[in-house]
Amino acid sequence: MTGAGAAEAAEAVAAAGAEAYARIVATLIRVTGDWALAEDCAQEALTVALERWPGDGVPANPGGWLMTVARNRAVDVLRRAAVERRKLHDLAVLTPADAEPGPGVGEDVVDDRLRLIFTCCHPALAIEARVALTLRTVCGVPTAAIARLLLVSESTMTRRLTRARTRIAQAGIPYRVPSGPALNERLPGVLAVLYLLFTRGYVADGEPAFADEAVRLARLLDRLMPEQSEVAALLALFLFQHSRRDARRDAAGELLTLDRQDRRRWDHTAIAGGLAALARARHDGPYAWQARIAACHATAASVEATDWPTIARAYDALADIRPSPVIALNRAVAHGYAYGPAIGLVLLDAARAGGGLDGYPLAVAVEADLVARQGNPLRAAGLFRKAAAAVGSTAERRALLDRADELAR
């Protein structure tokens, strides 16, 4: 291949890896019971593809080619390690040696990927371990990148991943999707891991690639569990929020608040996908209400045209089913825009009453915005500066200081 062909091959490897990695790892874990071996073989298949496809061309079935290479590598490793003949036999009959299996048309393949997600997100593991294991095993994210996300060293993250896999083996955590009432108990934990992953990538100083991974996993989970309303709702929420990713910063890289974004730059295909997913969210769970709020923002032509009364009602519902200081804060914002800043300030005082917002700089920023809209720009500017001094994100600090300077002028 030419240089351009090599670039095309590299893109094909990346695309095939994104689609097939979880399927390959899940299948090899089921057959071998060895998490590290499954991940190593999947990674090695991608490496071999990068070496061979530029010269040999991209195969007709890239995902099947990767599965075959990974399976053959697992056979070689197990043979050299003299692992019991039964596992070798199971691997040998998984697919014919000269075949390139298709990308998950069978029910077993679907079940494998779903089993992998539920195992990584088992409640016996700490939430940080669930996030790390999901990123490493389901998404194939390098350990170093996961360490940066979770603010630890690579060696520390390697040990955490090893402990998580060991815990799964020693505790006898079943490699399966629960059924019946157990599924309803476990699914919220899986969705919480995806929500945390998306949030870590979406925050002002976050790594966008992790938000991308959360969207991809939500799409996969929705495809595997189309009957689950909250799965569709979570996907809708992600798509609405992620549709703004290209408009959140100006040409200089500075963070832009929602009211200052060029809505023409929003991803309207993603918004349409979010609306379609939200239409399948039949129940009134926490993600469904959050998705409805996000839909109001995503479909409004401007901040002024936003359906704030609907958003206020949605936050009323969220405050009933999942009360928290942050929900109460957002409810104050929504009511402040729907019914006037005086109402918002009353609800803000109520939200602060329990002490849950003490030291939370965004609560000060909300007060600043409401005070500014009441017609007191100088006091609002001081509050924005107070919030900026306490916020941890550099991008958010600059945005708050810019708002303060504008009001002061």
CB 369 within 8 A of CB 329: no
**Averaged pLDDT in 10-residue chunks for the chain of 409 residues:** 64 83 85 83 90 88 90 85 56 49 41 80 86 83 82 88 87 80 83 86 73 87 89 96 90 83 94 96 90 96 93 96 94 96 97 91 95 94 94 86 90
In angstroms, rounded to a whole number, what is the distance separating the alpha carbons of residues 164 and 206?
25
Q: List the beta bridge partners of residue 249.
A: 255
CA 77, 81, 83, 88 torsion: positive or negative? positive
Where helices occur in 225-280 by DSSP H, the ranges are: 229-242, 268-279
Instruction: Tell me the three state secondary structure of residue 21.
Output: helix
Q: How high is the pLDDT of residue 90?
A: 59
CB atoms under 10 Å from CB of 218, counted, come to 26
Q: Amino acid identity of 224?
A: L
Q: How high is the pLDDT of residue 97?
A: 42
In angstroms, rounded to a whole number, what is the distance separating the alpha carbons of residues 166 and 169?
5
CB 114 within 8 A of CB 225: yes
DSSP secondary structure string, 167-232? HHHHTT--SS---THHHHHHHHHHHHHHHHHHHHHHSTTS-HHHHHHHHHHHHHHHHH-TT-HHHH
Using CA atoms, how far residue 402 sits from 255, 355, 381, 407, 408, in Å, is 10, 28, 10, 9, 10
Residue 283 host element (H or E): none
Q: How high is the pLDDT of residue 100?
A: 42
Which structure tokens are listed for 118?
Answer: 């539920």
The pTM (predicted TM-score) of the whole model is: 0.74
Q: pLDDT per residue over 147-171, tens digit each?
A: 887 778 899 999 999 898 888 888 8
Which structure tokens are listed for 254?
Answer: 């500075």
Q: How high is the pLDDT of residue 395?
A: 81
Q: How far is CA 369 from the centre of its chain?
A: 29
In angstroms, rounded to a whole number, what is the distance separating the alpha carbons of residues 313 and 293?
9
Which structure tokens are listed for 166?
Answer: 């060991």
Q: How high is the pLDDT of residue 87?
A: 58
Q: pLDDT per residue over 175-191, tens digit each?
A: 878 877 888 788 888 89
Residue 115 host element (H or E): helix 107-120
Which structure tokens are listed for 90?
Answer: 């199971």
User: What is the residue whose two structure tokens read 């390098």?
Assistant: 142
334, exposed or middle or buried, with CB in 10 Å at 0-12, 13-18, 19+?
buried
Half-sphere exposure (CA, 13 Å, Cβ side) for 308?
17
